[in-house]
Amino acid sequence: MARDKSQIPAPVRGEAVRQRVIDAAERLLRGGKADFSMRDLAAEAAVSFATPFNQFGSKGAIMHALSDRRIDTMMARLAEARQPPGAAARVMLAVDMAVAVMLEEPDVNRAVMGWIGTASPFPGRAWSRSTALWVSALAGGEGIAEPLREQALGYLPRQLALGFRGALSFWSAGELADDALGAEARAIAATLLLAFADRAPTPDPAG
């Protein structure tokens, strides 16, 4: 017996359409079409011309959704990984995983970074979402000097998010090579952690 579509909750249908549009945007970017129009996107997603606008409002918002998807992947991989002891080691693990996600599809991710760095009437969530990644990595702050632990847990996540975004900005602009991104991102994280860690982390991925 066919399922009555009217019984499907509207939010579920809406989320499915949103993911369909985001998937289509990723395919266009993989095909080298970073300058795709909303009409191109609607055709790729096999939806009406109005659907991307209705779901997101603008191309910039779609790019922010793609950024959210990358951060979700980083957080999922960190959660699934074997966690080393100590906040500093976990932060370095998170750096390595975040860099790996960005380098899996560098052309696509450079295009996304380029868009989320532009002015928009509606602020995105990249900073808050990225901050959540570093909150997860720091966890309870083991290894951070006890008198400074509370301060560090309040300060470091946002600063780590800013630092990683800075490295990605230079990388997306072509000033930082793919093979240098990891080392520079680790060096930024190590520098921030130095003020709080009982034992300083190493910026060297092999360390």
pLDDT per residue over 54-81, tens digit each?
999 889 899 999 999 999 999 999 999 9
pLDDT at 3: 43
pTM for this entry: 0.83
Length of the chain: 207
Q: Is 93 or 195 the better-scoring residue by pLDDT? A: 93
Percent of the chain with pLDDT over 90: 73
Residues 6+ apart with CB under 8 A from 14: 55
